Chain A
Amino acid sequence: MKNILNIVAIIVAGALVNLIAPWYFVALIAFASSMIFSEKALFAFLTGFAGVFLLWLFTAIAATWGNEGILVGRMSELIGMSGMALYLLTALIGGLTGGFASLSGFFLKDLFNQKDKSIYYGTK
């Protein structure tokens, strides 16, 4: 449940940050979100990855909605991969950035807030 909450938080906060800040601020979101929600290194990475992966995929789909494939067609010819691959590559770049940022967030929390962890457990 917490992991899903983490993913949703990354998507929502990431989408908001997208509106005003450069693209890499999404890493800060994943980082911060992980500090709040993450409990295990593996899940920290996976939730961060999934959150930003989905956020970027949705954003790319939304951006090209109504474009009739014109831009993706030209860009996929330019880059030399299929349109589908272009969406996935974009999501993957975001996912990796989000995953590692999230992992870092977890490690930071792990370093300083050993005791707090139990509080979180307590509130579960």
Chain B
Amino acid sequence: VKIVKLIVSLSITIGLIILLSTPLGGKPAFGKLLNPVSGFWANAESRNLHIDSEIAKLPLNDEVVAYFDERRVPHIFANNEYDLYFTQGYIVASLRLWQMEFQVMAAEGRVSEILGDDPRYLEFDKKQRRKGLKFGAQNKTELMMQDPLARELINAYTDGINEYIKRLPAKKLPLEYKLIGYKPELWSPYKTALFLMNMSDVLTSTEYDIEYSNFVFQHGSELFHQLYNDWFPENDPVLHAPEEGWLAHFGLDTSAIPGTAVLFPGKTPENTNATLGILDPKPDVQIGSNNWALHGNKTLSSYPLLANDPHLRLTFPSVWIEMHLVGPQSNAYGASFPGAPAIIIGFNEKIGWGVTNAGRDVKDWYVIEYKDNNKDFYRWEDGWRETKKVVEEYKVKGGQSVYDTIIFTHLGPVVHENFETNAGKLNLALQWMAHYPSEEYKTFYLLNRAENFEQYLEALTYYSCPAQNFVFACVDGDIALRQQGKFPVLEKHEGLTIEDGSKREKWSRFIPFEHIPMEYNPASGFVSSANQHAVDTTYPYYTNGVYEYYRNRVINDELSKLRRATVEDMKALQYNNYNLLAAENLPLLLDMLSTFKMNFKEQEIFESLRKWDFYNHADDINSTYFQIFYERFFTLLWDEFTEEEVAGSWENFKQKDGYKAPGEFKTYKIITDSIYNPFISHEQYPEIKTYNDIAQLAFKHAVERIEKIDQTDLPWGKYKNTLVEHIAMIPAFSANVNTGGNYKVVNATGKYHGPSWRMILDFADGKVSGLGVYPGGQSGNPGSYYYDNQLKEWTQGIYHELINSSSKADFENERYRKVTFKN
């Protein structure tokens, strides 16, 4: 009997421990997670860390000191380059390890390895690898490892991260590892390359080659050009044509201009009713950025001012981490990417720089015709070329490995096989600038050290993809802006739609460095970019892309008016809520409405909108009215190409699979310039015959929707309800903020996107002083005060002084917590 008791009791005990250690039904193991020793409790951090500490026996050449300020920004002082980037890696890992690893695992297509057996994860992973994120990262790693400078930089950074991982006790594992139930791998230079591929994917994937092809197949190229041509006289490009013209400026004659390509393969009306293949979700159209620099002749101090705010998805942990890196020959301060060495957007003692996305199309699609089902050969002119096959393994967590064969052609990987288009089922290969070997990190390493305009230019020679508008200012008084990237020389319209893979060779000619457009101390006294067209149509090279039409005009308008500008003017412009899209479209739409058909509520909202000043302030109600009205108008007009909008998803006109509606500014031009448009009618509302009918119905629908919204939720900030979301989409780790701004507004705070780092640099008296703030915090730990401590300041327009002293003495006080890294 006693032995039975013992066995039963022991079994219960052991059973309980096993039960508590086993993940059940997708939930983490309760005992592992909840025990206060190594479970989540161990991730609680105290806000007060004003205790000096020491980390010993590190593989450093010399001692390194880091001073953490009250926002936990590290000011790192190292005596040699290796130690500097080693310590950067070590500290970034200590603050953001889970985020940096998860981002690159997702880039590599390994989400199902972490999150388990869910067809959505596997689908995502396969797409990542088919698009060639792994392929590109391998190509870049190979090149970086051949360059002594890039190799040193990335190896030091990698060593620092790995030293942190090796020393990390299980109980201090970031919370997400405990929740999901896995452990970090060691870092490698390849992972740093993957991070860059991830950025290229986000910043160059807004292209519509396949969607445009579907339109051309169905409606022909003439109508396509009418409804999709995107150059207008109102456009103010980033870089203006020189007085003598581009050709003369480059010393070229007209024979240098390539010919025009035919949109492939023209109209095929018999296929127009096919179910179209579902394309990857595009990065949000709101991704974009602003930057500008003012020459001393426009500023109060007579020295330049520079500002930059890149708009990315608002996430926890933040996409950026703020750092100050002082080495033997460098002193750089700014925003860095967790996973990438050096400062990406920032300043040193002489220069400052910032970036906005170029938006040029560097992703082209080609039809591939296989010889037979073995897919060993594909058509090339009158014969065949051999494919290369790569078998990819997906180690699905809690399941069996899945295998997928990716076919490579001379142009790149076949991403879509048997893909439904209006021209039938096609195999589509992708040629993407991001696939090519390049060493962008070298650009940033050199910018961290550049002292003048010449050295800025030299740094940019290493930069390929994703192409950026690099703004520049320096203490000498120079300002400049250059759209840097590697671009193929294309025929006009080449790559606008799908190309024929049996006739197009791999890109072989690229726009030479000296023909990349640039402005240097222009007569206007300022340079600026906000994702608009790079250049006008007289530029001798084809520059297809997806461009913005509103922010740049507001910025340029404000900057041209400024005299004796100060830092305060820069702050005001970064937080400028003027909605030019509304200012152009609302009067047009209101004019289309006939008031005598309106009920009381409709009249009230109509009158309210008529008095609106077009500012998207947080407490404004007309912003909400306009957004709902405009969104409804746009969707009713382009019902052929957009889905009925889903309540609450106000900011995105969700395109129907395989289609892309003309953009907002093009739509405005189609209406005001009376461009032929056969898509006015609406299947569901046969009464619609004119734009006025659409406006009338849209207004009626909008008011019906507005009446359903609770009064307290009508102010713009409440209605928009901007979300800063945890990157694994855990609601408890995310936050909503009530704030003004909108996409297409200079203060580009939409629902999911916004200025992810706001920086203003003042070069007064030949010294660089910086201000900055970002929507998050230095720590990636949801159990830390520093996880979100800057979010409120960011919404309120409070900037932090970025202290970039190169003297340790300035940090030897009670404001800073000193950490000594010893060898």
Given contacts A66-B46, A104-B13, contact A60 B41 (CB under 8 A): yes
Quick one: which of B586-614 are within 8 Å of A by CB? none
Chain A, residues 78-89, CB within 8 Å of chain B (1/0): the string is 100000001001
| A111 and B2 contact, CB distance less than 8 A | yes
The stretch from B716-724, B729-737, B812-820 touching chain A is B729-737
| A93 and B34 contact, CB distance less than 8 A | yes
Quick one: which of A7-49 are within 8 Å of B by CB? 18, 22-24, 26-27, 31, 41
| B787 and A70 contact, CB distance less than 8 A | yes
| A78 and B730 contact, CB distance less than 8 A | yes
Question: Is A4 an interface position by the 8 A CB rule?
Answer: no
Q: Please, how many angstroms separate the alpha-carbon atoms of A108 and B730 in the complex?
A: 46
Which residues in A have their C-beta under 8 angstroms from that of B16? 96-97, 100
Given contacts A59-B41, A96-B16, A111-B2, contact A77 B732 (CB under 8 A): yes
Q: A107: which of B2, B21, B47 is its contact (CB, 8 Å)?
A: B2
State the interface size on chain B (CB cutoff 8 A).
41
Question: Is B301 an interface position by the 8 A CB rule?
Answer: no
The stretch from B269-277, B288-296, B777-785 touching chain A is B777-785
Which residues in A have their C-beta under 8 angstroms from that of B2? 107, 110-111
| B783 and A23 contact, CB distance less than 8 A | no
Question: Is A63 an interface position by the 8 A CB rule?
Answer: yes
Question: Is A50 an interface position by the 8 A CB rule?
Answer: no
| A68 and B783 contact, CB distance less than 8 A | no
| A101 and B13 contact, CB distance less than 8 A | yes
Instruction: Tell me how many residue pairs across A and B have CB atoms closer than 8 Å.
Output: 117
Q: A108: which of B6, B37, B179 is its contact (CB, 8 Å)?
A: B6
Given contacts A66-B46, A68-B47, A75-B40, contact A24 B21 (CB under 8 A): yes
Chain B, residues 31-55, CB within 8 Å of chain A (1/0): the string is 1101111111111111110000000
Given contacts A65-B46, A93-B35, A108-B6, contact A74 B13 (CB under 8 A): no
Q: Smallest CB–CB gap between A108 and chain B, Å?
A: 6
Chain B residue at smallest Cβ distance from A69? B44
Which residues in A have their C-beta under 8 angstroms from that of B20? 24, 93, 97
Q: Smallest CB–CB gap between A109 and chain B, Å?
A: 10
Question: Is B5 an interface position by the 8 A CB rule?
Answer: yes
Q: Please, how many angstroms separate the alpha-carbon atoms of A97 and B152 in the complex?
A: 51
Q: Smallest CB–CB gap between B792 and chain A, Å?
A: 14
Q: Please, how many angstroms separate the alpha-carbon atoms of A86 and B35 in the complex?
A: 11
| A71 and B17 contact, CB distance less than 8 A | no
Given contacts A23-B31, A63-B41, A108-B6, contact A74 B732 (CB under 8 A): yes
Chain A residue at smallest Cβ distance from B21? A24
Chain A, residues 108-124, CB within 8 Å of chain B (1/0): the string is 10110000000000000
Q: Smallest CB–CB gap between B398 and chain A, Å?
A: 21
Which residues in B have their C-beta under 8 angstroms from that of A111? 2-3, 6
Chain A residue at smallest Cβ distance from B39? A23
Q: Smallest CB–CB gap between A81 and chain B, Å?
A: 11
Chain B, residues 138-157, CB within 8 Å of chain A (1/0): the string is 00000000000000000000
Q: Smallest CB–CB gap between A111 and chain B, Å?
A: 5
Binding site for B on A (CB under 8 A): 18, 22-24, 26-27, 31, 41, 56, 59-60, 63-68, 70-72, 74-75, 77-78, 86, 89-90, 93-94, 96-97, 100-101, 103-104, 107-108, 110-111
A-B contact sample (8 more), CB < 8 A, given A27-B17, A41-B5, A75-B40: A27-B13, A66-B47, A77-B732, A94-B35, A96-B16, A100-B9, A103-B9, A111-B6
Binding site for A on B (CB under 8 A): 2-3, 5-6, 9-10, 12-13, 16-17, 20-21, 30-32, 34-48, 170, 179, 730-733, 782-785, 787
By Cβ-Cβ distance, the 4 closest A-B pairs, closest first, are: A71-B783, A66-B46, A23-B35, A59-B36
